[in-house]
Structure 1
């Protein structure tokens, strides 16, 4: 079976799109074309590049949601046509296509923020990245721990007590340390401008034989540490690499096109804020060309650390990000369904269509490919600055 490479406008937009302040980026081809800030009005993409040359600059402005609401700009055409062109042409600079909504922000990620995924990290470690042994280790851990970790606050006295029990049984792990201890795991997921958006391929390292999607909420954070919006993200993960050694985390997480964010950043306003972000329910649907179908979910309601706490672990007096930050919040989802063999668990196959959606954030769709066969990343910070200067979009601050 071959899945159709199409993404619809309906699945890309929030259920309450009429009151959502959405911002994104689109590649407009031509001699004076390039990355362009856009918003969605009705079924049209609207050019709002007059507001700011980069998304990082826009999100650093006070009350950016109101600025976007009041912005005037030309229509770039129906959203559905842009989605069709993106699916058909990918990142071809000669053709129009949607981009990831973030640009100069550093892309960070918080790990081990849910009890279920914390146990899966321990399993990867104990099997040394071998999927064949995962089922047995999982059963033994669940028998000992049950669901006792899901309501434990990291760093609390109860967490310390559980640590001592697990140490006594020889079950303590570096993953339990960051899942239950006072310090959150924060790592770099991707370099600025390396993320991909909806409708294109996401990359898996060709040496990986045990990997999975990770559907997550991604916080858009201003240089001052304020959460100014949120998006959907796929923190593509190589379970075998990290399972062999935690020192391979960078190789497991950061490869060509291995970070997908989008399709939009929904800005915080009177209709959408921290309360709604913290209550976000995410669904995942995976459809393989082999007929395999996987359904999954995650919910921010069960996260062990609040979004504001994760931001505080990532930036503050100890570390600043002058262009802001995109922060993956982690996921409850860790697929264990067998795909090819009994007790072999799940892993991706080329051509898998991965759809990640949430009512207030829309839907992010990508197709899985070998990362070495996807277009290489060539448009970095230097190229962006040259492009913006050529288009006359760089101006001194007021």
Structure 2
């Protein structure tokens, strides 16, 4: 089952389940965050879907980021390709990226608060003080307050590679700024997700109607396990509203490539769908 948070043509925000080309709307009082925090999100969603008497075509709604009050965190250097790229952009600190790739403790950082997440279809931004910017397509874990993975969505972790490469201590500025994170368009509940070893992640960047870059990877190349990332993130952290965790990228455009205003970024992940955002 796939869940979505949408804005209707009336301006009302609703939650529902995706059924073909329609969205089965749950009761108006339904909050996505509370549904995900329930003892059994799938059972709760099935009951809400069964009781639903309203549906709308997906073309008649605006998809919002599938997040309410959760924090959004991210992991880094979880694929070998990412490790190599980080070593190349920051030669003086290459040893640290090599060490964290093989270390038990992962790299984790706060990416955004819910209110700053960019919805599907809206603009992700490149920093004005950066000249080397890329999107990072990432499978994103939806974690409940009880620290259980209850679903998956798509994340775009916008990154300024030159800022981070200048000094690893600049990581927060390279990663965390206005419109630097997008999520969506839906959450696929854990029970409905294909085996992660079969999940493919694909990135396409269009520029002036032409493909400027495309690449893909398999989640089987992931160097850790989703469960281990959640275990480390929640080791000394509680998340009363739950948390979303981007798991890192295995797709890195060549060093000669940088995003430009007007580009369109599309991230497709098996079992979830496609997240599209223009670049501004």
Structures share a fold, TM > 0.5? yes
Q: Which residue of 2 aligns with 1:107?
A: 72
Shift of 1:232: 1.0
Q: Which residue of 1 aligns with 2:203?
A: 284
1 CA distance for matches of 2:209 and 2:173?
28
Does the residue aligned with 1:263 lie in a helix, a strand or coil? strand
Of 84, 107, 117, the residue aligned with 1:119 is: 84
Q: How does 1:195-214 map to 2 (within 5 A)?
A: 195-214=117-136
Shift of 1:50: 4.8
Q: Which residue of 2 aligns with 1:341?
A: none
2 CA distance for matches of 1:219 and 1:115?
20
Please list every run of 5 or more consecutive structure 1 residues that lacks an aligned counterpart in the other structure: 1-20, 83-96, 128-170, 337-343, 370-398
Q: Which residue of 1 aligns with 2:220?
A: 301
Does the residue aligned with 2:124 lie in a helix, a strand or coil? strand
Change (3 A) 1:299 1:42: same
In the alignment, is the contact (CA less than 8 A) between 2:154 and 2:272 conserved in 1?
Answer: yes
- Is residue 182 of structure 1 aligned with residue 104 of structure 2? yes
Deviates more, 1:247-256 or 1:44-53: 44-53
Of 31, 38, 54, the residue aligned with 1:61 is: 38
Q: How does 1:43-62 map to 2 (within 5 A)?
A: 43-50=21-28, 52-53=30-31, 55-62=32-39
Computed over aligned residues only, the root mean square deviation of the Cα atoms, in angstroms, reads: 1.9
Does the residue aligned with 2:74 lie in a helix, a strand or coil? strand
Change (3 A) 1:199 1:76: farther
Does the residue aligned with 2:17 lie in a helix, a strand or coil? strand
Greater Rg over alpha carbons, structure: 1
In the alignment, is the contact (CA less than 8 A) between 2:204 and 2:211 conserved in 1?
Answer: no
Q: Summarize deviations over 1:323-372 as a string: whole Å, max 9, x none.
A: 11100011111111xxxxxxx61100111111111231111111111xxx
2 CA distance for matches of 1:172 and 1:288?
32
Please list every run of 5 or more consecutive structure 2 residues that lacks an aligned counterpart in the other structure: none
- Is residue 347 of structure 1 aligned with residue 266 of structure 2? no
Q: Which residue of 2 aligns with 1:361?
A: 272
- Is residue 335 of structure 1 aligned with residue 261 of structure 2? no
Change (3 A) 1:79 1:29: closer
Q: Summarize deviations over 1:229-282 as a string: whole Å, max 9, x none.
A: 00111111110111112222111112222111110000122x436xx2343111
Q: Summarize deviations over 1:148-180 as a string: whole Å, max 9, x none.
A: xxxxxxxxxxxxxxxxxxxxxxx8522122112
Of 231, 235, 239, the residue aligned with 1:312 is: 231
The alignment's TM-score, normalised by the length of structure 1, stands at 0.66
1 CA distance for matches of 2:81 and 2:103?
16
Q: How does 1:210-289 map to 2 (within 5 A)?
A: 210-269=132-191, 271-272=192-193, 276-289=195-208
Shift of 1:61: 0.4
1 CA distance for matches of 2:173 and 2:27?
35
Shift of 1:194: 1.6
1 CA distance for matches of 2:55 and 2:25?
7
Aligned length: 278
In the alignment, is the contact (CA less than 8 A) between 2:88 and 2:94 conserved in 1?
Answer: no
Change (3 A) 1:312 1:228: same
1 CA distance for matches of 2:76 and 2:12?
34
Larger strand share, 1 or 2 = 2
Change (3 A) 1:49 1:206: farther
2 CA distance for matches of 1:50 and 1:63?
20
Change (3 A) 1:357 1:297: same
In the alignment, is the contact (CA less than 8 A) between 2:132 and 2:161 conserved in 1?
Answer: yes
Shift of 1:100: 0.4
Q: Summarize deviations over 1:80-138 as a string: whole Å, max 9, x none.
A: 233xxxxxxxxxxxxxx2210112111000100011111111111128xxxxxxxxxxx
Shift of 1:46: 2.5
Q: Which residue of 1 aligns with 2:239?
A: 321
2 CA distance for matches of 1:190 and 1:98?
19
Shift of 1:309: 0.6
